[in-house]
Chains A and B, each alone.
Chain A
Amino acid sequence: MKVDLSKYEFSDHESNEVDDLTRLEKGEQESMKMAGFDVSEKNTSASFVQIDHNHAFCKSYDPGVEILPLGLALSIDEGLADLQWNLLKPDKDEFTRLAADNTHGGYVIRIKKGAKLSAPVQSCLMMHTNKVGQNVHNLIIVEEGAEAHILSGCTTTEADQSAAHIGISEFYVEKNASLTFTMVHNWGENVEVRPRSAGQVEAGGIFLSNYISLKPVRNLQMNPLITLKGAGSIARFNSVVVSTENTFMDVGNRVILDAADTRTEIISHAIAAGGHIIARGHIQANCSPAKGHLECQGLLLNNGIIQAIPELDGRAEGVELSHEAAVGKIAKEELEYLMIRGLDEEEASSAIVRGFLNIDIMGLPPELKTEIDKAVTESQKSMF
């Protein structure tokens, strides 16, 4: 599905910086919350907020976290230039080219060597102005032995607003470091989105990715690539997406197992409730021993469409790659099982869908989990 970039305004929407998040507009605060950002910063190691074309807030509360807007970070630390456009190239497609020619900032988060953060780092990339086009470039570096959970929320201020978001992200997980990266998308039905992400994990490193998108979005396409470069490194992906009417999502994950003893697991749960989802997964194994498993569960409601495209690409003898995909409506046996306990068909369907979208495995902070639970309840209104 094509994006007509000429419809959007990629300049002249500079926002003001605030020193206190509660000074942001109520509507902004509300949509940030729905994208998993806690304005009260109760349980936060660092916060970053970008509105339209520049950052509005950037603060670290933990000496283990360095967080800076991209422009400032590049001017202070010359070495960073080597990490920008390193895992991704500007000439990849029209979106990376646009982002390279006209970057509106983004964040650089560096978790210092050995730092083990007790609270998550949170960021919010927001589009406030109608018709705005936003190009951000984020760099995430988790240094040797460090551990962090980064929550990255993306949202528009208004649900019916028109906007385009191009987000470039490069992840560096160093030796024995661990990164949990949770991305929550809270878009609207007139928003077009093109995230472009790549990451590398060194020996003994762990990259855990959670992705949640329960709101409509006109057109979203992403297929981030993670390379397990170092021996014994691990990447795990859990995603939960709902596509309601007029929502098109082409989403996937690619992993290259490029060292011995690497492991990956990609699990996606997709509900097409009147919308269209292409669910991709690609595991390439270049070294042995290595293990990869792909799982795509798709649920069809209200004439939705799901195309699951799992790919396994083994290039060394001794690799173990597997996949499992199932697309269909709610199983009659499951419905009847709940109905014999006294639930009517709608209650039973709702309980099954709620279970299908269960995110316990992601280990999210309780505030975010509550917010997601609310969004699940809300999304069910357009399902039955």
Chain B
Amino acid sequence: MITLENLHVSIQGNPVLEGINLSIDDGETVILFGPNGSGKTTLLYTIMGIGNYDVTEGRILFDDEDITSLPVHKRARKGIGMSMQRPPSIHGLKTRGLVAMCAGERKIDIDTLAKKVNLETFLDRDINLGFSGGEIKRSEILQLLAQQPDLLLFDEPESGVDVENMDLIGNMIRELLEGNPEPDAEHTMNELMHERKTSGLIITHTGYILDYIAADRGHVLYDGHLCCADNPKRILDHLKKYGYKECIRCLS
């Protein structure tokens, strides 16, 4: 699905990411841990093509095509979608209008989708204006439900979300990643699961999202370097116990 090769990224001449190599296969979900300021959001933004970041070395391949210098909207149209942590509000642009734009040419039933994420009453409100933390996450998910990307980038889906909302958000992220497969006479669950090829790259601090989705791999991003690859729950347990200090030892 996506491959980052020796990716070096700077912001205003200051290196943030220094030689990232990462590959995510079709249908694979990868979790990204790392302390504040380690470059996690930079990595997501660079894949999406937004922000004031310069790729100084290396490249990004999406479905074997080099997209390193492709404009944002073309990456989106190729199937990359992102849930932002703190999206801007836009005066006068209604949630309904934006969701419709996310779907592009595809026909969708906005009201039904909104119901799934409990946002029916938000459709005619200005997007993100006065939304709570949980409402912002649900609105991002609603937009992704309409957009149906093949690669989902989630920037801290749990931040600012209360326990009640976490259930809904976690389950919806699972649905985005895995679909809602229901085996029938002609299709076994096994077949259905293998047909799906949606991949995910999820930044998390708390790991709450791991209670809802089956993540394949976890990595730690520390000071611009990827320094670990393991089962995400195992990484989380380790981080809870030792913090990031072992990452420093690992890198030095």
Contact = CB atoms under 8 A, between A and B. Distances in A.
A384 to B, nearest CB: 15
Contact of B91 (A297, A344, A347): A297
B227 interface: no
Interface stretch (A1-9, A35-43, A80-88, A348-356): A348-356
Contact of B101 (A269, A334, A343, A345): A343
Contacts of B93: 351-352, 354-355, 358
Given A341-B147, A342-B104, A354 B92 contact: yes
Contacts of B143: 341
B147 A351 contact: no
Nearest to B93: A355
A333 interface: yes
B73 A343 contact: yes
Give the size category of B's interface with A: 20 to 34
Interface in A258-280: 269
Contacts of B91: 269, 297, 355-356, 358
A95 B98 CA distance: 47
Contacts, number: 72
A360 B94 CA distance: 11
B81 A340 contact: yes
Contacts of B71: 339, 344-345
Nearest to B78: A342
Contacts of A360: 92
B189 interface: no
A337 interface: yes
A76 interface: no
Nearest to B124: A360
Name B's interface SS: mixed
Contact of B87 (A269, A337, A355): A337
Contact of A336 (B50, B92, B97, B98): B50
Contacts of A357: 92
B92 A340 contact: no
B76 A339 contact: yes
B72 interface: yes
B102 interface: yes
Nearest to B128: A337
Interface in B32-55: 48, 50-51
B60 to A, nearest CB: 15
Contact of B72 (A336, A352, A358): A336
B90 A352 contact: yes
A356 B93 CA distance: 8
A338 interface: yes
A341 B76 contact: yes
Contact of A342 (B51, B73, B88, B126): B73
Nearest to B98: A341
A337 B97 contact: no
A334 B50 contact: no
A340 B104 contact: no
Contacts of B50: 336, 339-340
Contact of A341 (B92, B102, B126): B102
B124 to A, nearest CB: 9
B77 interface: yes
Given A341-B147, A342-B73, A351 B88 contact: no
B82 interface: yes
B88 A334 contact: yes
B193 interface: no
* A334, A339, A342, A344 — most chain B CB neighbours (10 Å): A342
Contact of B92 (A339, A344, A355): A355
B87 A345 contact: no
Given A336-B72, A337-B84, A355-B126, A342 B92 contact: no
A333 B126 CA distance: 16
Contacts of B72: 336, 339-340
Contacts of A338: 90, 98, 101
Contacts of B97: 351
Interface in A191-212: none
Interface in B80-133: 81-82, 84, 87-88, 90-93, 97-98, 101-102, 104, 126
B101 A337 contact: no
Given A340-B48, A351-B101, A345 B90 contact: no
A357 B91 CA distance: 9
A355 B90 contact: yes
A269 B84 CA distance: 27
Interface in A316-347: 331, 333-334, 336-345, 347
* B84, B87, B88 — most chain A CB neighbours (10 Å): B88
Contacts of A347: 73, 101
Q: Which 5 A-B pairs have the closest CB atoms?
A: A358-B92, A355-B92, A355-B93, A339-B72, A342-B76
Given A339-B76, A358-B93, 20 more contacts: A297-B91, A334-B88, A336-B50, A336-B72, A337-B84, A337-B87, A339-B73, A340-B81, A341-B143, A341-B147, A343-B73, A344-B73, A345-B71, A348-B73, A351-B97, A351-B101, A352-B93, A355-B90, A355-B92, A357-B92
15 contacts: A334-B90, A337-B84, A337-B88, A339-B50, A340-B48, A340-B73, A341-B102, A341-B147, A342-B76, A342-B77, A342-B101, A342-B102, A351-B98, A354-B92, A355-B91
